[in-house]
Structure 1
Amino acid sequence: MTKTNPGRFFEDYTIGQIIRHAVPRTVAEGERALYHALYPARHALYSSDEFAASSGLESSPLDDLIAFHIVFGKTVPDVSLNAIANLGYAEGRWLRPVWPGDTLRSESEVIGLKQNSNGKSGVVWVRTRGLNQMDEPVLDYVRWVMVRKRDPEAAAPETVVPDLAQVVDPTDLVIPEGLDFTGYDFDLAGEPHRWGDYEIGEKIDHVDGITVEEAEHMLATRLWQNTAKVHFDATNREDGKRLIYGGHVISMARALSFNGLANAQMIVALNGGAHANPCFAGDTVRAWSEVLDKADTTAPGVGAIRLRLVATTGDSAAFPLRGQDGRYAPEVLLDLDYWALMPV
């Protein structure tokens, strides 16, 4: 009897199935230090207890994407170990900050299944929740992945495609308790630009670029306990390359966006996203953003801004995002749509 885990295949999923993922993870200041070493993350709220306290929080929480990566990483052995591709995200919301000392775990519900026409794979939709040690949800999102079948002859399940919102309604954004930007220090934050300075349709070239190194992306992916073979095993792909974890590109692009969006302090929702093309070591990642929408919040001095974050291997936004065939241009790595909180 084998005791090793080959991962789930497409025919192993059923609608309504609840998967409780191993292994809970207690996070500490070490995660923050490593995160800021791996990415040029400089947003003040996540760098300084004093800045966070002046913004109404008890201390500096861990970066929102640390929570995302840890919650996501837990799901990999059960959801995407045998995945061909991670296809997209929707309806993501950060529900409360994660603090050093919190213990995070993940659980997922299968909400959609659709076999591909080739009969060799299918798409699985899951809604994943990250919970802390008090069983309070800290994060909730939907993602869908293309997963191999173990047996191509296995019967196809009934097709269920979930109806997902295109955007999280701003009235459903969860603002951290006590957050108050009325005394916001723009000098210490790094830029003078506030919510009212940004216009819908405005594009911001974040200027800087960072070349991805093999060791760094593997260190980052191990940090999140993401076990997907394509990120570590050079024999897993015919070209002998290790695929960069898509979340590594998300964090790199978000960190690069500081130049122009230093005051987009907290990510509170993930409306959608696509890993448009693969990223490999040696690629230089650049980023630009587009302002898609703005909304008021009930928190004092706090506005919500909806941003499209695009990561590329080309020179900023000098090329079309998509070709005439509707496909992403080969230079595009990431197309991410999210809500952030900013001082008004």
Structure 2
Amino acid sequence: MPKDKTPRVKTNPGRFFEDYTVGEVIPHAVPRTISGGERALYHALYPARHALYSSDEFARVCGLPASPVDDLMAFHVVFGKSVPDISLNAVANLGYAEARWLRPVYAGDTLRASSEVIGLKQNSSGKTGVVYVRTTGFNQHGLPVMEFKRWVMVRKRDPEAPAPEAVVPDLAPHVAAEDLVIPAGLDFTQYDFGLAGEPHRLSDYEVGEVIDHVDGVTLEEAEHMMATRLWQNTSKTHFDATPRADGKRLIYGGHVISMARALSFNGLANAQMIAGINAGAHANPCFAGDTVRAWSEVLDKAETRAPGVGAIRLRLVATKGGEPFTLKGEDGKYLPHVLLDLDYWALMPV
């Protein structure tokens, strides 16, 4: 300690709402090299069985050099890089938009990320505000692998601090099918439906069709904590139970997304690569002991320029009980049993 007994602050308390400025670009620390062991652990945490992410040989038949890591695993790594700078003092991560996967991520790749602040809006209570960012993940060659926009509710350090001028970005209602990036070489003309696990191709699905994914998984505290640490997500709300009145740790929203996506294999085994997220909302909090189930609705279908490859737009809903296939009440608000409402594009053989 210095002679004047004044402690020198070297630790990072995290940013608060008043620390952000629209237009600033924030490079995130600690690049992460992805290993095959990390992919195996992802498959241990979730019942992930999509063939393209399970077998190098299956991926090679589909025109890729090897099996990529799961798209959501890469998303969690990039998302986790942004947490210390964006959502360390978050109350909740509120939603996603305009997400695109720009190239596959393979074991051995090193990922880093940066975010641009694209909007700020203080809440009426004066205690919190919403921060909008555009986050981009890059590989070791400096090439972007994904980009997404998200908005998060962040605490204010000083509730009396003046509110910034409100800037709310215009967010596209969805990613246009023609703007989806198809991985170089992807070719589903030799796709093996038997090895993939189901016979259903794009033409077998109808817009408006609802699919019950049947299975459920009860979440455990240990698995959630392992996942949160694995992605180096340091948001306090997932680790520290003391700030919440109920004394519970909030389950990381990405854990719910990955669990629901894995459950969707039963009925959507051939919805292989996630190419984009149009919108997403964590509708209600999730805690250890909740049993997650999932259902999907087909929203749209599209052709792509890649041989044998089509795109299917899906609404993936994760629930913790409640009446099946229900989403919102008459007031337009999510029903209490709805955990996740995710609108995304996946690539599927035509």
TM-score bracket for this pair, using the shorter chain length: over 0.9
**1:333 corresponds to:** 339
Asked if 1:94 corresponds to 2:101, the answer is yes
Instruction: State the Cα distance separating 1:154 from its structure 2 match.
Output: 1.2
Q: Distance in 2 between matches of 1:74 and 1:163?
A: 25
What is the DSSP-based 3-state SS (H/G/I as helix, E as strand, rest coil) of the residue aligned with 2:15?
coil
Equivalent residue letter for 2:144: P
Matching residue within 165, 169, 173 for 1:166: 173
After TM superposition, the structure 1 = structure 2 runs for residues 74-89 of structure 1, keeping only pairs within 5 Å, are 74-89=81-96
Matching residue within 5, 10, 14 for 1:3: 10
Q: Distance in 2 between matches of 1:222 and 1:22?
A: 16
Asked if 1:263 corresponds to 2:263, the answer is no
Equivalent residue letter for 1:64: D
Instruction: State the Cα distance separating 1:320 from its structure 2 match.
Output: 2.6
Instruction: State the Cα distance separating 1:155 from its structure 2 match.
Output: 1.5
**1:202 corresponds to:** 209
Q: Distance in 1 between matches of 2:276 and 2:50?
A: 17
Encode CA deviations 1:240-261: one digit per residue, 9 max, x unaligned. Answer: 1111000000000000000000
After TM superposition, the structure 1 = structure 2 runs for residues 1-344 of structure 1, keeping only pairs within 5 Å, are 1-314=8-321, 318=324, 320-344=326-350
Instruction: State the Cα distance separating 1:8 from its structure 2 match.
Output: 0.3
What is the DSSP-based 3-state SS (H/G/I as helix, E as strand, rest coil) of the residue aligned with 1:114?
strand
Instruction: State the Cα distance separating 1:234 from its structure 2 match.
Output: 2.1
Instruction: State the Cα distance separating 1:231 from its structure 2 match.
Output: 1.1
Q: Distance in 2 between matches of 1:37 and 1:320?
A: 30
Q: Structure 1: which 5+ runs fail to align?
A: none
Indicate conservation of the 8 Å contact 2:113/2:135, yes or no.
Answer: yes
Encode CA deviations 1:22-68: one digit per residue, 9 max, x unaligned. Answer: 11000010111000000000000000000000000001000000110
What is the DSSP-based 3-state SS (H/G/I as helix, E as strand, rest coil) of the residue aligned with 1:235?
coil
Instruction: State the Cα distance separating 1:319 from its structure 2 match.
Output: 5.4
Q: Distance in 2 between matches of 1:164 and 1:279?
A: 26
Q: Distance in 2 between matches of 1:14 and 1:189?
A: 47
Equivalent residue letter for 1:15: V
Q: Distance in 2 between matches of 1:31 and 1:235?
A: 30
Q: Distance in 2 between matches of 1:98 and 1:187?
A: 26
Q: Distance in 2 between matches of 1:217 and 1:117?
A: 32
Stretches of 4+ aligned residues off by more than 3 angstroms: none
Q: Distance in 1 between matches of 2:171 and 2:242?
A: 36
Indicate conservation of the 8 Å contact 2:91/2:237, yes or no.
Answer: no
Instruction: State the Cα distance separating 1:208 from its structure 2 match.
Output: 0.2
Equivalent residue letter for 2:147: D
Q: Distance in 1 between matches of 2:52 and 2:95?
A: 28
Q: Distance in 1 between matches of 2:269 and 2:349?
A: 11
Equivalent residue letter for 2:23: G
**2:5 corresponds to:** none
Equivalent residue letter for 1:253: A
Instruction: State the Cα distance separating 1:288 from its structure 2 match.
Output: 0.2
Structure 1 residues 41 and 319: alpha-carbon distance in aligned structure 2, compared to 1, 3 A threshold: closer
Equivalent residue letter for 1:323: G
Q: Structure 2: which 5+ runs fail to align?
A: 1-7
Q: Distance in 2 between matches of 1:243 and 1:114?
A: 24
Q: Distance in 1 between matches of 2:81 and 2:223?
A: 20
**2:4 corresponds to:** none
TM-score, normalised via structure 1 length: 0.99
Equivalent residue letter for 1:258: F
Equivalent residue letter for 1:325: D
Sequence identity of aligned pairs in percent?
A: 78
Q: Distance in 2 between matches of 1:76 and 1:8?
A: 10
* Greater mean deviation of Cα atoms: 79-88 or 302-311: 79-88
Q: Distance in 2 between matches of 1:70 and 1:226?
A: 8
What is the DSSP-based 3-state SS (H/G/I as helix, E as strand, rest coil) of the residue aligned with 1:23?
coil
